């Protein structure tokens, strides 16, 4: 076995294990940590495929930014994992049946002539050509239209998030001296007349 293949299997094994732990871990924080591990291994697999931009991107963006934020949120939320799982066992048989049927159908359709995946060599990249540079060039030239559209989608996401959650500025707790001076006795004390009630 070539060294590269060995590295691929090693990374893939970690990836599969980490992904399984993400959905089986009882503790949400442990699940998130395993998700980070899964992203790292996926980045490694991409680096093996010479897609170094994607590899760096997933580590920087997903691990560095998204997952850290995720970790914060998960740590702050009080998630009762056992209550979420209450119905797990009662839904499991149905889910398993549906999943197996789908697997069988896909298999029946695909196994006929597609399981023998056509083997193709990775495109030979001449030395000195950077994948990142080529990607950047394409994004800003041929794919500039979808690139701009993606930015508009993100803008709408920001607007939407603010529109749904912003509830106006909170009143500040600082005091206004002018108001304090103008205050009168009736603003501070209110005398109420209440009928007497019998105590039981």
Partner 1 sequence: MTLSEMNFALPDLAPAAAEIFLLTMACAILVLDVFLKDARRTVTFVLTMLTLAGSFFITFVGSSAEITYTFSNMFVDDLMGDFLKLLLYATVFVVIMYARGYMLERAPQAKGEFYTLTLFATLGMMVMISANHFLTVYLGLELLSLSLYAMVALNRDSVQATEAAMKYFVLGALASGLLLYGMSMIYGATGTLEITGVAERLQLGAANKTVLSLGLVFLVAGIAFKLGVVPFHMWIPDVYHGAPTAVTLFIGSAPKLAAFAIVIRMLVNGLIVLAQDWQQMLILLSVLSMGIGNLAAIAQTNLKRMLAYSTISHMGFMLLGLVTGVVGGDARYALNAYSSSMFYVVTYVLTSAGTFGMILLMARSGFEADQLDDFKGLNKRSPWFAGIMMMLMFSMAGVPFFVGFFAKFSVLQAVVASGQIWLAIVAVIFSLIGAFYYLRVVKLMYFDQPSDPSPIEAAFDVKVLMSANGLAVAVLGIFPQALMSLCAYTLLRSL
The footprint of partner 1 (CB under 8 A) covers: 106, 109-110, 112-114, 129, 133, 137, 141-146, 149-150, 152-153, 155-157, 159-160, 162-164, 166-168
CB nearer to partner 1: give 96 or 109: 109
Best CA proximity match to 132, nearest among 50, 28, 38: 50
CB nearer to partner 1: give 53 or 143: 143
CB nearer to partner 1: give 94 or 189: 94
Minimum distance, C-beta of residue 153 to partner 1, in the bound complex (Å):
5
Residues 6+ apart with CB under 8 A from 135: 53
Minimum distance, C-beta of residue 145 to partner 1, in the bound complex (Å):
4
Q: Tell me the three state secondary structure of residue 26.
A: coil
Minimum distance, C-beta of residue 55 to partner 1, in the bound complex (Å):
21
Residues 6+ apart with CB under 8 A from 30: 21
Kindly report the length of the chain.
200
d(CA 62, CA 175): 44
CB nearer to partner 1: give 77 or 112: 112
């Amino acid at each position: 076995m070539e060294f590269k293949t060995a590295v691929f299997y090693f990374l893939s094994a970690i990836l599969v294990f980490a992904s399984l732990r993400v959905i089986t871990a009882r503790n949400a924080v442990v699940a998130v940590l395993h998700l980070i591990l899964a992203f790292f291994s996926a980045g490694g697999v991409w680096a093996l495929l010479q897609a170094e931009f994607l590899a760096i991107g997933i580590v920087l963006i997903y691990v560095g930014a998204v997952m850290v934020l995720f970790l914060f949120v998960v740590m702050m939320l009080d998630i009762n994992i056992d209550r979420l799982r209450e119905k797990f066992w009662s839904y499991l048989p149905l889910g398993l049946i549906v999943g197996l049927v789908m697997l069988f159908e896909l298999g029946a359709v695909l196994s006929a002539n597609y399981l023998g995946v056509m083997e193709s060599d990775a495109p030979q990249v001449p030395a000195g050509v950077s994948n990142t540079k080529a990607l950047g060039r394409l994004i800003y030239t041929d794919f500039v239209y979808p690139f701009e559209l993606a930015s508009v989608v993100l803008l709408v996401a920001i607007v939407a998030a603010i529109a749904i959650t912003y509830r106006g500025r909170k009143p500040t707790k600082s005091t206004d001296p002018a108001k304090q001076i103008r205050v009168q006795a009736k603003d501070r004390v209110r005398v109420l007349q209440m009928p007497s009630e019998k105590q039981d």
